[in-house]
Amino acid sequence: MIVVPAVHALGVLTVDPVPWARSQMAFTLAFHIILVPLGVSWAFMTLIANYRAIKHDDADALLLAQRWSKYMAVTFAVGAVTGTVLSFEFGLLWPRFMGQWGEAFGVPFGFEGLFFFTEAIFVAIYIYGWRRMRPWAHFWTGVPIVLAGIFGAVSVVAANSWMNAPSGFTLDSSGKVVAVDPVAVIFNKAMPLEAAHMLVAAYLVGGFMVASVYAGAMLRGRRDRYHRLGFVIAFTVAAVATPVQMGVGDALARWVYNDQPEKFAAIELVPHTASDVPETLLGKLSANGTVQGGIAIPGLASWLSDPGTGKATVVKGIDSVPAEDRPTVSEVNVVHLSWDIMVGLGSLLFLLSLWYGLTWALRRRMPTNRVFLTLAAASGLLSVITMEAGWVVTEVGRQPWIVYGYMKVDDAATANTGVWITFIAVTVLYLALGVTAILVLRGMSRRFRRAGGFADVESPYGPPASSEAEPQVEEAAR
């Protein structure tokens, strides 16, 4: 067999797998996470439109709900496959982690599987049920999608938060897991706030993503009721979620302050344990352990950590843990910069939500000036960056640990030296997938516009083929 020497020849190119495994996991997770908000919150927005459509006999809302459900089908399909890949990667990239901790770490995934399954079934029913099911019966088949999305997301985050606050297991002297308490695994200490933070993020980001498309359309002059309604439903969801998220995020940061001090030290760029710690905006940690550049606001980091004790609050520094358990300087800088990006963009999105809310309160209509619409059109991308930055804080901030306090990333990775090849293959494939998904969604939108309705829709995942496509088929057939 020719394959055999070829595979052996590749083995000659031995490369340390750990950085490649980390990069591949980070890349595929970062990709998947963009689809998650849509999977979790779009069904909710669709049901709002659907409800309005039935209750008020609103044709625009009906059209919105129907088209959204079609887009949802595409994003759900892409999310399903990228999620499947993640379940492969746990084993392919981190076999030693799974081998030792799968018995505990795996517990939340059993539930996630349940909810994902339920979601997939009802997505199928909902997107195909428009024509022949009775309106209210059809509406109710959408509700399980919303619930399963919520519980599924919470289950997955429970697994991640277990990595931050591992609990619910007993080890023997050789470090093997010998007893597991599933309830303590799922409801670990990091879980309630981390799950809430991601869940609200899903509604926030999903809302901004959908709204930004309609804001873009309004900027290009399509200001009819249909586009306004699409914007208002999605943006309202996001605008309600944003202030909630600030509260949840603040509580989570305080949890990190108490329970993962070195992550908090990286977030706040605190090399040495001290009180009266300034809040440093931007800036970086140098190789010799001093903070360079940035704008320091005196005492604010201490004050925010515990307003009760104010500036006197002691913040543990990176040097509070043994040298071998510290994140590297560049990891600290990545965490700090990501934190600044998350908080900065999050605050911007909050101001945008406030603008929208105040305009509603005072004038009973949405703001329609170009500045607002331009910002709203950018809000989808900005919110995605905010969410990604938040995940970078969580994940890079946990370094060097994969299971906090128990196992380091270096000890968890595969020994397979070919990971660099899979990294390249996965990156190329996913980039192609991402570009194609966007092109397909845009193509659908353009055809929806040309068709002007839903009844004519021909393809299960999109609007009818445009008339000029037909001759092409005939031509090629000859």
Partner 1 sequence: MSDTVAVVLLLALTTYAVFGGADFGAGFWDLIAGGPEQGRRPRELIEHSLGPVWEANHVWLIFVFVVTWTAFSEAYASIMLTLFVPLTIAALGIVLRGASFAFRKSVVSLRNRRLFGVAFAASSVLVPYCMGAVAGGIASGRVPAGGKAGDPVDSWINPTSVVTGVLAVTSVAYLAAVYLVWEARRDDNAEMADYFRRRAVVSAVVVAVVGAVGMVVLHSDAPYVFDGMTGRALPVVVVGVAFGLGALVLLARDANRGARVLAVLAQAGIVVAWGVAQWPYLLPESLSVSAAAAPSGTLRVLIVNVVLAVLIVLPAFVLLYVLAQRRLLPEEGVPDAADRVTDRSAD
Query: Per CB under 8 A, which of residues 369..428 are in contact with partner 1?
Result: 414-416, 418, 422, 425-426
CB of 320 to partner 1, least distance (A): 33
Tell whether omega for the bond before 5 is within 30 degrees of 0, i.e. cis.
Answer: no
- Show contacts with partner 1 in window 117-146 (CB under 8 A): 117-118, 120-125, 128-129, 131-133, 144
In sequence order, what are the residues at sequence separation of 6 or more whose Cβ sits closer than 8 angstroms to the Cβ of residue 291?
269, 271, 280, 283, 284, 285
CB of 22 to partner 1, least distance (A): 17
Which of 95, 357 has the CB closer to partner 1?
95
Which of 224, 470 has the CB closer to partner 1?
470
- Show contacts with partner 1 in window 66-85 (CB under 8 A): 73-74, 76-78, 80-85
- Show contacts with partner 1 in window 449-478 (CB under 8 A): 457-462, 465-466, 469-470, 472-473, 476-477
The answer to whether 18 contacts partner 1 (rule: CB under 8 A) is no
CA distances from 172 to 175, 178, 184 (A): 5, 6, 18
Query: Cα–Cα distance between 165 and 29 in angstroms, integer?
Result: 20
Query: Cα–Cα distance between 461 and 445 in angstroms, integer?
Result: 11
Query: Cα–Cα distance between 182 and 167 in angstroms, integer?
Result: 9
Which of 75, 305 has the CB closer to partner 1?
75
Stretch that binds partner 1, among 113-121, 191-199, 356-364, 402-410 (CB under 8 A): 113-121
The answer to whether 12 contacts partner 1 (rule: CB under 8 A) is no
- Show contacts with partner 1 in window 150-209 (CB under 8 A): 177-182
Query: Cα–Cα distance between 9 and 13 in angstroms, integer?
Result: 8
CB of 130 to partner 1, least distance (A): 9
Sign of CA dihedral 300, 301, 306, 309: negative
CB of 256 to partner 1, least distance (A): 28
In sequence order, what are the residues at sequence separation of 6 or more whose Cβ sits closer than 8 angstroms to the Cβ of residue 424?
none
CB of 170 to partner 1, least distance (A): 8
Q: Contacts with partner 1: how many residues (CB under 8 A)?
A: 91
Query: Cα–Cα distance between 327 and 389 in angstroms, integer?
Result: 17
Which of 1, 362 has the CB closer to partner 1?
1
Query: Cα–Cα distance between 66 and 291 in angstroms, integer?
Result: 53
Determine the number of helices (DSSP H) and then strands (DSSP E) in the chain.
16, 10
CB of 455 to partner 1, least distance (A): 10
